[in-house]
Amino acid sequence: MERRGSFSPWLRLRSSPSVVEDSGMSQTIFVQEKLPNGLRVVIEVMPHVQSAACGFLARTGARDDSRQLAGVSHFLEHMCFKGTRKRTSIQINIEFDQMGAQYNAFTSRDRTFYYGWVRPEDFDRQLELLADMMRSTLPPDEFETEKNVVLEEIAMSRDDLASTAYDILYEHLCADSDLAWPILGYEETIRAMTRDQMHEYFRRRYAPDNLVLIVAGNLDPDQVMDSARRYCGDWEPAGETNGQRVRPQMREGTAARAMDRFHQQAIMLAYPAAAGTDPLDETAEAAAAILGGVNSRFYWNIMQKGLSPRAGAFRDEYADFGALTLFGLCEPENCEKLVEAMRREAAELVEKGVEPKEIARVKNLRRTSLAVESETPFYRLGQIADDIEYFGAPRPAEARMAAVNAVSAESIREYFERFPITGPGYLISVGPRNWPT
Amino acid sequence: MTENIEHKRLDCGIELAVLPLAGRPVVAVEIRILAGYAFERPEYLGVAHVLDEAIVKGTAKRDGRALNDAFDAIGSTHSSYAGRERFGFSCLCLPEFLERAVALHAEMIRTPSFPPEDCAVAVELTSQTLAALEDDPQELAKKLLHRQAYGEPLGRHPLGEEETLERIGREQILDHWQRYFCAARMQVAVAGAVEPAAVADLFEREFEGFRRGEPDLDGLGFQFNAARSHHEKDLEQEQIAICFPGPAAQDEDFPTAQVIVGLLAGGMGARLFTEVREKQGLVYWVGAWSDQSRRSGMFHLGASTTPQNLEKTYTTLLREIDRLSEDLTTEEVERAIAGIVIRNQTRGDITRARAVELTEDLFYHGRPIPTEEKMARVQAVTIQRICDYLAGHPRDRLSVVTLGPTPEKSDAL
């Protein structure tokens, strides 16, 4: 959940010697090092750009909240901008602005990411600032004011049909698990939360052995490492990892939430999917794209039949869990037709397989998207964070393209054998119509 | 370093600007046609958006699926939109596929088939999207404000009105296309590892013989209407939308307006975020921006907040506009300027951003303006210039829309 800006739940917008890995093919240069206190530093050197970006990946998110403290990860993300021993909240913001930085933070279910994008000459100053924020004092006099900001964010989210439906989906799909509550938390948990409770969570989860510093840009990696040691070297480790996370058992079922304030009906139909660490990760992405991406089956056979102005499929992936969600908006009287069409398209894909041109499309578009991503350090941060979470290390572009090239009709068939989408799944419906009853 | 931008009107009538950027992995092509919804006939509002839905559904040579498959075969991303004054196409591809991508765009723009059944679906989907607007409070408030403040034709909404959509069929789509899709109304920008002469030849070749038409050199201006309205709606939050006139992009005061927006909302250290959110916790979202038609400009402020904070948020927004002429500091102005200049520089790594910037130059200024020149104008803004501008343009005429659960008769309104 970004601290500033829009949020769309349909999309996912986070001492050992230096090791230099040169892939040889694409000249991707990664430098990685772990400081004695456990802070991992990953640098991608991009000599062809005129900017630099960095971010602290806190390997903690909403699933690490407890039900009683639902929303603490996200609220904490806000509080890290509110003051340190050296700076007030206003000084933090002003300093970013003085550098002309494009900066923000977001919280998801499994991570929190703080980032900024600047000119190379301002990189060190920005790194020092972000590092200072990671040792926030969570100023007590700012706590209640920021609590009101989070409550406003919750209210804004409730006015948004897509956000509301997405939260309801997880509440049912992953009931009784640490993925069930909204990233923003509930109004009552936020109101009841104390600064001491947040501080205890912060102490455990923002220790250097649970953080990763990710850097990309036109930079000298030795200088970056020197800065990392200078700004982060004295942080105390806490020894806590993510081992307590429990893989959720996804449920099947149906839930409807009638809400008169909305005019359209949001439909979501979710199935278990490959985790981010699964060897079929790229195949899972391809399957979702063929079913509900650009020029996809949903586009031609659902939207272009006039059933829905917006329909598609997306995959949420975590290290231990994945979900493939088919979604669509429709006129309330068209719910049955939309769900029927979604199920029909899913069954057709599973039973008859994919066409060669569909596989080619995915690969061709991926090739272009990899080229676009390589243009800016800012784009690279998020992908490196994913690679670290799911593969343990950043991957050069050609390794990722090789994974895309491995997608085939056969791998998609294998994927749907392991993760079928022809069963009941979990169906949720949110909007003016109380359907299904 | 000054960049070598090639700019010319081609023999076929298209205005073309090319920015060669050696070593870039992708090429960005941005096509603008002066065919936006401001040019619609009043009885067929929404036709430009419907045309946008329908234009990818086939050409004289191939049906819609084959057309989209042809783009996919080269891995080209492509999208289009119907804007206020301009209809836009955006495309990103690898350099080796540029010729093919341009050829496909030419085919789509010159010979769309507009199959009748697809036109009917396009109207139906536009109608559903219009209905879905009711579930998007921020966009709905914007629609209400534009209608109230901008007048005709710039105050229209791209999705039209339910009753005008009902009148639209293939004939009306074809009419809009025939009247406005012509070479002289096209402005094209290309950025990436390309050779300008080759790009010019490519467009000459692909658009040779396309109807030329007449260029639109005038553009449109807002007809500002100061008013205030509240629209009651079952929501958790109140939307606040405010606008008042600002300078046009060609006006010498425009860089001053850019800095004023930066002072209000250029970053989290800017005045609105600081005063409304950081100090008082009244909102999650607050912002300020400028909206430019080709010949006029408008300042906008917006926020959403729960009803108990409505009055305080509104008065703080207005107070912050007034305070600009009272206590600006040199540091603050320098910070706002740095935000504009440096973000422009870092975004320069994005090839598409460079192409989009070029199309804006062509539309507003009739020529590409070197980045250094634009940034120098911003860097020349001083406290004195800002104060002079604000003194000469007091915010005494506002257009305000509120949308939310507060009853019309509430004291907060």
B129 lies in some domain: yes
- pLDDT of A352 strictly over 70: yes
Chain centre distance of CA B329: 31
Q: Which residues contact A192 (CB under 8 A, 6 or more apart)?
A: none
Pick from B281, B301, B368, B347: which is nearest to A142 by CA? B281
CA dist A23 and A30 (Å) reads: 9
Q: Pick B124's closest partner by Cβ from A89, A150, A306.
A: A306
| A436: in domain | no
Determine the Cα–Cα distance for residues A108 and A59; give it in Å rounded to an integer: 10
The answer to whether residues A142 and A289 belong to one domain is: no
Chain B contact set for A310 (CB, 8 A): 129, 132
Chain A residues whose beta carbon lies within 8 Å of the beta carbon of residue B26:
368, 371-372, 375
Looking at the fold, whether A283 and A212 belong to one and the same domain comes out as: no
| 8 Å CB contact between A234 and A215 | no
The arithmetic mean of pLDDT across residues A67-83, rounded, is 98
The answer, for B75 touching chain A at a CB cutoff of 8 Å, is yes
pLDDT computed for residue B2 by the predictor: 63
Full domain range(s) for residue B381: 227-404
A118 in a domain, yes or no?
Answer: yes
Q: Which among A433, A14, A435 is positioned nearest to A211, based on CA atoms?
A: A14
Predicted pLDDT at B215: 86
Q: Are residues B234 and B370 in the same domain?
A: yes
Q: Residue holding tokens 């958006």?
A: B49
Asked if residue B250 and residue B136 are part of one domain, the reply reads no
- Are A79 and A143 within 8 A, CB to CB? yes
Residue A322 sits in which domain range?
Answer: 253-431
Confidence of residue A183 (pLDDT cuts 50, 70, 90): very high
Could B25 and A161 be called an inter-chain contact, meaning their C-beta atoms sit closer than 8 Å?
A: no
Percentage of chain B lying above the pLDDT 90 cut: 94
**A51: which chain B residues are within 8 Å (Cβ-Cβ)?**
345-346, 348-349
Taking CB atoms and an 8 Å limit, are A152 and B93 in contact across chains? no
The separation between CA A88 and the C-alpha centre of its own chain, rounded to angstroms, equals 29
What stretches of A134-255 show up as alpha helix (H) in DSSP?
140-158, 161-173, 187-192, 195-205, 221-232
Q: Residues with Cβ < 8 Å from B241, sequence gap 6 or more?
A: B141, B142, B144, B145, B300, B301, B302, B400, B401, B402, B403
% chain B with pLDDT above 70: 99
| pLDDT recorded at residue A189 | 98
Selected residues 15-34 of chain B with any CB under 8 Å from a CB in chain A: 23-26
Enter the pTM of the model: 0.95
CB of B56 less than 8 A from some CB of A? no
Co-location of B179 and B238 in the same domain? no
Instruction: Decide if pLDDT at A242 tops 80.
Output: no
Nearest C-alpha of chain A: how many angstroms from B131?
Answer: 7
Q: Using CB atoms, pick whichever of B23, B77, B128 lies closest to residue A48.
A: B23
B249 and B325 co-located in one domain: yes
Residue A78 is classified by DSSP as H
Residue A6 has pLDDT above 80, yes or no: no
Residue A349 lies in a domain: yes
Same-domain pairing of B42 and B181:
yes
> CA nearest B236 in A: which residue?
A155
In this structure, the answer to whether residues B110 and B231 fall within a common structural domain is: no
How many domains is chain A partitioned into structurally?
2
Q: Which residues of B touch A49 (CB under 8 A)?
A: 349
Shortest CA distance to A315 belongs to which of A327, A298, A302, A301?
A: A327
Verify that A195 and A342 share a domain, yes or no. Answer: no
Q: Is residue B215 part of a domain?
A: no
Is residue A266 one of the residues assigned to a domain?
A: yes
Mutate to test the interface with A, among B271, B342, B350 (most CBs of A within 10 A): B342
pLDDT value, residue B216:
82
B376's CB contacts (< 8 A; 6+ apart) are none
Chain segment A49-59, per-residue pLDDT in tens = 999 999 999 99
Position B298 in a domain: yes
Dist CA A288 CA A273 (whole Å): 10
Give the pLDDT of residue A22.
35
Same domain (yes/no): B51, B195: yes
Sequence letter at residue B280:
Q
Condensed to tens digits (0 to 9), the pLDDT of residues A23-55 reads 333 468 999 999 999 999 999 999 999 999 999
**Whole-number mean pLDDT of chain A?**
92
Cβ pair A51, A102 in contact under 8 A: no
Chain segment A162-182, per-residue pLDDT in tens: 999 999 999 999 999 999 999
User: In this structure, are A276 and A382 located in the same domain?
Assistant: yes
- Of the candidates A232, A266, A286, which is a domain's last residue? A232
Residues of chain A in contact with residue B93, where contact means CB-CB under 8 angstroms, are: 368
The answer to whether residue B34 sits within a structural domain is yes
Q: What's the CA gap between B47 and B177, in Å, rounded?
A: 10
Interior angle at CA A36, CA A34 and CA A42, nearest 5: 15
B284 vs A50, A152, A260: nearest CB: A152
Q: Tokens in use for A165?
A: 């439906």
A129 falls within a domain:
yes
Residues A216 and A263 in one domain: no
The B residues from 155 to 174 touching A (CB cutoff 8 Å) are none
Please indicate whether, in this complex, the C-beta atoms of B284 and A93 are within 8 angstroms of each other: no
For chain B, the domain total comes to 2
Q: Does B72 touch chain A (CB under 8 A)?
A: yes
Instruction: Give the span between the Cα atoms of A307 and A310, in whole angstroms.
Output: 9
C-beta separation of A5 from A104 below 8 A: yes
Model pLDDT, residue A283: 97
Distance from CA of B114 to the nearest CA of A (A): 14
A73 in Cβ contact with A112 (< 8 Å): yes
Within a domain: A144 = yes
For the ranges A243-252, A322-331, A347-356, the lowest mean pLDDT is seen at A243-252
Task: For an interface test with B, give the residue of A368, A369, A433 to mutate (most B CBs within 10 A).
Answer: A368
| Mean pLDDT score, B174-189 | 98
B73 with A304: Cβ contact below 8 A: no
Tell me which chain A residues have a C-beta less than 8 angstroms from the C-beta of B234: 260-261
**Same-domain status, B151 and B279:** no
User: Does the structure show a pLDDT above 90 at B32?
Assistant: yes
Is the Cβ of B328 closer than 8 Å to some Cβ of chain A?
Answer: no
On whether both B36 and B169 belong to a single domain, the answer is yes
pLDDT tier at A399, thresholds 50, 70, 90: confident
- CA separation, residue B128 to residues A7, B122, B171 (Å): 22, 10, 21
Q: Which residue has the tokens 């919280």?
A: A107
Give contacts of A375 with chain B, Cβ < 8 Å: 24-26, 349-351
Q: Are A223 and A266 within one domain? A: no
If DSSP states are collapsed to H, E and C, what string results for chain B?
CCCCCEEEECCCCCEEEEEECCCCCCEEEEEEECCCHHHCCHHHCCHHHHHHHHHHHEECCCEHHHHHHHHHHCCCEEEEEECCCCEEEEEEECHHHHHHHHHHHHHHHHCECCCHHHHHHHHHHHHHHHHHHHHCHHHHHHHHHHHHHHCCCCCCCCCCCHHHHCCCCHHHHHHHHHHHCCHHHEEEEEEECCCHHHHHHHHHHHHCCCCCCCCCCCCCCCCCCCEEEEEECCCCCEEEEEEEEECCCCCCCHHHHHHHHHHHHCCCCCHHHHHHHHCCCCCCEEEEEEEECCCCEEEEEEEEECHHHHHHHHHHHHHHHHHCCCCCCHHHHHHHHHHHHHHHHHHCCCHHHHHHHHHHHHHHHCCCCCHHHHHHHHHCCCHHHHHHHHHHCCCCCCEEEEEECCCCCCCCC
Residue A312 sits in the same domain as residue A392:
yes
Q: What residues of chain A lie within 8 A of the CB of B235, using their CB?
A: 159, 261
Tell me the shortest Cα–Cα distance from B57 to chain A, in angstroms. Answer: 10
- Please indicate, yes or no, if residue A248 is contained in any of the structural domains: no
* CB-based burial, A43-71: b 16+ in 10 Å, e otherwise: bbbbeebebbbbbbbbbbbbbbbeeebbb
Q: Which residues of A touch B125 (CB under 8 A)?
A: 303, 306, 309
Residues A228 and A311 in one domain: no
> Min CA distance, B95 vs chain A (Å)?
10
Q: What b/e readout covers A243-260, taking b as 16+ CB neighbours within 10 angstroms?
A: eebeebebeeeebbbebe
Residue B125 contacts A where some CB pair is shorter than 8 Å: yes
Q: Of the candidates B207, B238, B257, which is a domain's last residue?
A: B207
Residue that terminates a domain, selected from B176, B207, B238: B207
Contact A100 B343 (CB under 8 A): yes
Could you tell me if B77 lies within 8 Å of chain A, comparing CB atoms? yes
Residue A301 and residue A228 in one domain:
no
pLDDT digits 0-9 by tens, A121-143? 999 999 999 999 999 999 999 99
Q: For residue B104, tell me if it sits in a domain.
A: yes
| Residues A191, A160 share a domain | yes
Contact B306 A51 (CB under 8 A): no
Q: A284 and A208, same structural domain?
A: no
What pLDDT score does A240 carry?
78
Count how many residues are written for chain A: 437
Chain A residues inside the 8 Å CB shell of B278: 89-90, 93, 145
Helix or strand run (H / E) with residue A103: strand A102-107
On whether both B75 and B200 belong to a single domain, the answer is: yes
**In terms of domains, do B387 and B305 share one?**
yes
Kindly state whether B353 is in contact with chain A, defined as any CB-CB distance less than 8 angstroms.
no
Q: Tens digits of per-residue pLDDT, A212-241?
A: 999 999 999 999 999 999 999 999 999 877
Tell me whether residue A14 is in a domain.
no
For testing contact with chain B, the best of A126, A363, A364 (most B CBs within 10 A): A364
Please tell me whether residues B362 and B259 are part of one structural domain.
yes
Q: Do B135 and A117 touch (CB under 8 A)?
A: no
* Domain's final residue, options B175, B207, B239: B207
Quote the ipTM score: 0.96
Is B227's Cβ below 8 Å from some Cβ in A? no
pLDDT the model gives residue A244:
78
Shared-domain flag, residues A216 and A258: no
Q: Which residue of B has its CA nearest to A89?
A: B278
CA distance B305 to B302: 10
Q: Is residue B248 part of a domain?
A: yes
Compute the nearest-CA separation of B166 from chain A (Å): 15
CATH number of the domain that B250 lies in? 3.30.830.10
CATH number at residue A405: 3.30.830.10
The size of chain B, in residues, is: 413
Model confidence over B364-409: pLDDT tens digits?
Answer: 999 999 999 999 999 999 999 999 999 999 888 999 999 999 987 7
**Between chain A and chain B, how many beta carbons pairs sit less than 8 Å apart?**
199
pLDDT at res. A17: 30
